[in-house]
Structure 1
Amino acid sequence: MSKYINRRQFLIYGGTAVGTSLLLKACNGNSPTASNTNNAYKIAIALPGPITDKTWNESGYKGIQLAKQKLGAEVTHLEKVSQPDQTEVLSDFARRNYNLVFAHGGQFDAAIQQVAPQFPQTFFVGVNGAVSGANFGSLRIEHLQASYLCGIIAALMTKNNKIAYIGGQKFAATQEEFRGLELGAKSIKPEIQVTSTFTGDWNDVAKAKEATLALISTGADVIYQWLDNASATVLKTANERGIYAFGNTNDQLDIAPKAVLTSAVKRIDLAIAYLAELGKQNLLKGEVYRIGLEKAEILTLGKFSNTVPANIKEQVLDIKSAIIANKISFKECQEKGEDTICVN
């Protein structure tokens, strides 16, 4: 079951999300730190990478700092949590009586399902997850909607009719995002080639560069990436090789202005702060909370490069409006005997 969130409820966070939360001191190293507010609602977050990545992990950290500011919550975070350590980290937060624990990435889904039943007094949220149960749920940005728009841009900008997707790991959210890119591109050019590759590491710069160069060598001239600390490497490599790319999570146009066409901007911090408020009010349910383009303060496209012609920009923004108005939607379907998502 999915829950869509009222736009007005999010707007209260927009004005203060940037600035004060960034000035709050981060912990050094990979040990958890927390404020010391007596009897406060307690929130923790486990992060797969460093909070200095300027993308995914930083947004998660900013989210709980915003919850601290808005709710007077006691917060802690642990960064660079590896896959083998996930269950112990989540269990440790619960043993320390944290009321709400965020696991920041779909790669935590299995760990949440294993740990949550053992700690019924703690509620767990998988950010970008696909799981739900008695005391756990997921927060999902509708990545597919933004990547669909980027796929349209890619198809209109490619010269080789070959575009590609680079992700950190393959799970539900990244698969949906890749599918959106494919659907968008093929809505313009049905014959276009759309390929994907996963580096296995969201932060490994060397793997990101290797994957980018490998895709370029196959003729791909537009690359959509979803990485964390390694995202800038993909964009800069695209810039050096004279091809196009897309930013992700933050507006990344400034990283490689000649390469980045636009970005899929995802304000995960605002979404986390909202779910934290629901948690404090004891209103969180075992659901997948989905947020799409209709919440422009959460999911939108970033600044467009001057390289993108005005008519293409106008076309894409019209399609964006059609998605928001539900004139274009997406549904589960089968293609070539496999479950997937199609344009409705």
Structure 2
Amino acid sequence: MTLYFPRRKFVLYGSATFATSLLLKACKSSQTTTPTVSSSGEGFKIAIALPGMITDKAWNQSGYEGLNLAKQKLGAEIAYLEQVAQADQTEALIDFARKGYNVVFAHGGQFDAAIEQVAPQFPNTFFVGVNGNNKGENIASLRIDHLQGSYLCGIISAAITKSNKLAYIAGQEFPATQEELRGFNLGAKSVKPNIKITSTFLGDWNDVAKAKSATLALISSGTDVIYQWLDSASPAVLQAASDKGIYAFGNTKDQLDVAPKAVLTSAVKRLDIAIAYLAELAKQKQLKGQIYNIGLERKDILYLGKFGAAVTETVKQNIFKVQQEIVDKKIIFENCQEAGKDTRCVKKA
């Protein structure tokens, strides 16, 4: 049974009886951020706060699927809150902590400041920032190594482009997107050192009109391959690329089916498996206050999706070779400084 509560009523009525919950469901407010509680009665409680919609077929849906996979594997009680605006992040995390959730996932690096503020107040709740950069007594971060996946996509881009103009589009600029842009840059320039990469940060992960407009502007300037990381707005980029006869990459989910003529492949990030893994560690009381980095060595979590027709067999075989070299640590991405900034550079063993 799933119970629905308006967000401001969640703290007050989270343990209401079934009859009361039905009344609340019938009177549900019209606001878009609506927590959902699903119970299996096992005593271990997991929650997730999401910046977007669970139906975006991208980042937020993957987080939601991770919550449900954890419920399935661990028999946990779960709750989620979608479309959490930045101004509401602290309140959302406090709501979950006050209700006694053992582990609370905050699904995006934009939650870092809220986690730092809330976690010290609730030492019995473990907070996990997905794409975060925090660690502490009851704070962990789950990081997919976006640089490794985008490095492979950069190599593919360099093999495909005719204009030698590539672009990266993302919702916000923060460490995870900077890392992904860096990998795309390194991969492309490992093939064509003089290739040009333009980056655009829209300030919104879900604004379809803004994503389409930015894509068309890039195409008009000569860009013929685009790597995007958006949520609900990602299909707008992929479809615009298809309409204009250029190429693009899917992200998080395998998005080849969104625009088969345009998508070269997707940087698939199985956040559902990664989230369930950390939730299991939490239940076993083995979750530590550290940053958990997961790369291509976990082939069930980070990998390239189905390839589009434009990717030749020769390019595929080269990608498989490079991927294995990364796993075998023959290609290493080590910390370095470039133009006075901390970043990562390629080192070959």
TM-score, reference length from structure 2: 0.89
1:39/1:263 Cα in 2 relative to 1: closer, same or farther (>3 Å)?
A: closer
Q: CA shift at 1:339, angstroms?
A: 1.6
Task: Tell me which residue corresponds to 1:252.
Answer: 255
Q: Which one has the largest radius of gyration?
A: 2
Distance 1:145 1:36 in 2: 37
Say whether 1:85 aligns with 2:88: yes
Q: Following TM superposition, by how much is the alpha carbon of 1:180 offset from its aligned partner in structure 2, in angstroms?
A: 0.2
Alignment equivalent of 1:41, drawn from 41, 44, 53 = 44
Aligned twin of 1:312: 315
**Structure 2 residue runs without a partner (length 5+):** 1-27
Moved over 2 A (4+): 27-30, 35-39
Shift of 1:128: 0.9
Match of 1:278 in 2: 281
Report whether the alignment pairs 1:147 with 2:171.
no
> What CA RMSD, in Å, does the superposition of the two structures yield over aligned residues?
1.3
Alpha-carbon distance between aligned partners in 2 of 1:149 and 1:236, rounded to the nearest angstrom: 22
Aligned-partner Cα distance in 2 for 1:151–1:91: 40
Counterpart of 2:189?
Answer: 186
Distance 1:261 1:34, change over 3 A: same
Q: SS of the counterpart of 1:329?
A: strand
Q: Is the 8 A contact 2:39 2:76 kept in 1?
A: no
Structure 1 position 36, deviation (Å): 3.5
Alignment match, 2:242:
239
Contact 2:246–2:262 (Cα < 8 Å) also in 1: yes
- Residues in 2 aligned to 1:100 and 1:338: alpha-carbon distance in whole angstroms: 34
For residue 203 of structure 1, report the CA deviation from its aligned partner.
0.8
CA distance in 1, matches of 2:155, 2:36: 44
Displacement of 1:33: 1.8
Give the total of aligned pairs: 318
Q: CA deviation at 1:274?
A: 0.7
CA offsets 1:241-300 (integer angstroms, 9 cap, x no match): 111100001111111111100110110000000100001111111111111111111000
Superposition deviation, residue 37 in structure 1: 4.1
Partner of residue 165, structure 1: 168
Distance 1:31 1:252 in 2: 27
Q: How far apart are 1:337 and its partner, in Å?
A: 2.0
Instruction: State which of 106, 114, 118 in structure 1 corresponds to 2:117.
Output: 114
Partner of 1:209: 212
> Is residue 334 from structure 1 mapped to residue 313 from structure 2 by the alignment?
no
Correspondence for 1:103: 106
SS in 2 for 1:322: helix
The one-letter amino acid paired with 1:102 is: F
Counterpart amino acid of 1:321? Answer: Q
2:17 is aligned to none
CA apart distance, 1:45? 0.2
CA distance in 1, matches of 2:39, 2:176: 35
Q: Deviations over 1:169-224 (max 9, x none)?
A: 11111100000000000001110001111111111101111111121122111000
Residue equivalent to 1:14? none
Gaps of at least 5 residues in structure 1 are 1-26
Q: Distance in 2 between matches of 1:209 and 1:41?
A: 43
Distance 1:303 1:33 in 2: 33
Q: Deviations over 1:12-47 (max 9, x none)?
A: xxxxxxxxxxxxxxx995221212344611110000
Quote the offset at 1:301 in angstroms: 0.4
Query: Does residue 52 in structure 1 map to residue 16 in structure 2?
Result: no
State yes or no: 1:136 paired with 2:139: yes
Partner of 2:9: none
Number of the residue aligned with 2:266: 263
- Distance, in Å, in 2 between the alignment partners of 1:337 and 1:201 is 28
Distance 2:42 2:64 in 1: 22
Code of the residue aligned with 1:43 in structure 2: it is: I
**Counterpart of 1:75?**
78
Confirm or deny that 1:225 pairs with 2:223.
no
Question: 1:156, CA displacement in angstroms?
Answer: 1.0
CA distance in structure 1 between the partners assigned to 2:314 and 2:80 by the alignment: 45
Q: 1:206 is matched by which residue type in structure 2?
A: A
Secondary structure of 1:109's counterpart equals helix
- The C-alpha deviation readout for 1:123-142, integer Å capped at 9, x for no partner, is 00000111111100100011
Question: For residues 291-328 of structure 1, what are the alpha-carbon distances to aligned partners after superposition, in whole Å with 9 as ceiling and x for unaligned?
Answer: 11111110000111111111111111110110011100
Identify if the C-alpha distance between structure 1 residues 37 and 301 changes in structure 2 by more than 3 Å, giving closer, same or farther: closer
- Which residue among 200, 209, 216 is the counterpart of 1:197? 200
